[in-house]
């Protein structure tokens, strides 16, 4: 199955919630854990055990594992297959962006023989559309997905993302590029299904964009995307379910929550309850 089809199936079964796994130093200490590889392992194992069987997507932030060196990556190498075995899709939040063979190396996270093989990867497009081609090719070859930074939720994002390239903003150029990747002709699908690919279903495209849930208004046109939107910013960053509906309507959206779930603390039942509250609100 393509990543888009797997994601649509997971959302149908579990709801659209994505929970970020962000074990920064302050959170480890709040949980009563040590800020070292052992504390990182205990944190990650608890989150995966509590949530991998309940939510559609888990999104570990690679930086918080890399800061512990090889021991931190070893924790993630154990956690990712465990999460996938429990039914969660794993989106590695790495925001990689480079050119040529270097980008192809980053894209190897999407290969099934990689020691840290994941379902999808976040990438940065700011070296130009062609810089993403090695990642797109790897994703398409092995049934993976990409989420490309487009219109993000950080306050100064518009400095670059709203700049014009001809008559289009940079963000719109990113969305249009990803939409072409998802076109039925290129993806081997039926062109008759093209109008359905902006919503959940078997023809959901495998490549999406990142658009923040905290935007005052949606200033990019997503009608040609034909794939999912990763929408960070719910909860602690100020975004709400009402914002999702206002911005995206009935599009295929993966809302991402981190702090509002993880602050439930080192208790599996409490973590599940926090995730379940978001899932119920998203489904209401």
In the residue annotation, 59 being an active-site residue is answered as no
How many C-beta atoms lie closer than 10 Å to residue 159's C-beta? 9
Cβ density class 6-18: b for 16+ within 10 Å, e for less? bbbbbbeebbbbb
Q: What is the CATH number of the domain that holds 227?
A: 3.20.20.70
Specify the number of domains making up the chain.
Answer: 1
* Structure tokens, 52: 């991998």
Q: Which domain holds residue 277?
A: 3-283
**Tell me: the pLDDT tens digits for 56-110?**
999 999 999 999 999 999 999 999 999 999 999 999 999 999 999 999 999 999 9
* DSSP character at residue 174: H
Pairing of strands 253-257, 57-60: unpaired
Torsion of CA 61, 64, 70, 76, to 10 degrees: -40
Q: Which residues share a beta bridge with 122?
A: 147
CA distance 59 to 91: 5
Of 19, 68, 63, the closest CA to residue 41 belongs to 68
Catalytic, out of 54, 59, 68, 95: 95
**Tell me: the pLDDT tens digits for 148-160?**
999 998 889 888 9
Q: pLDDT-based confidence at 208, cuts 50/70/90?
A: very high
First to last CA, the chain: 29
* DSSP character at residue 78: H
**Tell me: the pLDDT tens digits for 160-185?**
989 898 899 999 999 999 999 998 76
> Distances from the Cα of 24 to the Cαs of 28, 35, 53, 126, 150, in angstroms?
6, 8, 23, 26, 25
pTM for this prediction:
0.95
Torsion of CA 183, 187, 193, 197, to 10 degrees: -70
- Which element (helix H / strand E) includes 59? strand 57-60
């Amino acid at each position: 199955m393509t990543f888009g089809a797997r994601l649509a199936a997971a959302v149908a079964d579990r709801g659209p919630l994505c929970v970020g796994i962000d074990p920064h130093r302050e959170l480890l200490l709040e949980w009563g854990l040590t800020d070292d590889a052992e504390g990182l392992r205990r944190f990650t194992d608890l989150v995966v055990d509590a949530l991998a069987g309940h939510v559609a997507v888990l999104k570990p932030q690679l930086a918080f594992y890399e800061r512990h060196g090889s021991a931190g990556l070893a924790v993630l190498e154990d956690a990712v297959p465990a999460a996938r075995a429990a039914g969660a899709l794993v989106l590695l939040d790495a925001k990689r962006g480079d050119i040529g063979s270097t980008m192809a190396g980053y894209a190897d996270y999407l290969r099934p023989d990689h020691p840290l093989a994941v379902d999808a990867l976040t990438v940065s497009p700011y070296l130009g559309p062609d810089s993403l081609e090695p990642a797109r090719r790897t994703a398409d070859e092995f049934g993976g997905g990409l989420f490309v930074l487009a219109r993000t939720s950080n306050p100064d994002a518009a400095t670059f993302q709203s700049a014009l390239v001809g008559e289009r903003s940079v963000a719109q150029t990113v969305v249009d590029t990803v939409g072409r990747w998802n076109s039925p002709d290129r993806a081997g699908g039926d062109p008759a299904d093209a109008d359905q690919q902006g919503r959940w279903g078997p023809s959901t495209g495998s490549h999406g964009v990142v658009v923040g849930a905290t935007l005052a208004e949606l200033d990019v046109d997503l009608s040609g995307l034909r794939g999912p939107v990763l929408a960070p910013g719910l909860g602690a960053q100020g975004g709400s379910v009402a914002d999702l509906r206002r911005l995206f309507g009935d599009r295929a959206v993966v809302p991402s929550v981190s702090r509002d779930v993880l602050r439930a603390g080192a208790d599996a039942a409490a973590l599940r309850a926090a995730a379940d509250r978001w899932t119920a609100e998203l489904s209401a």
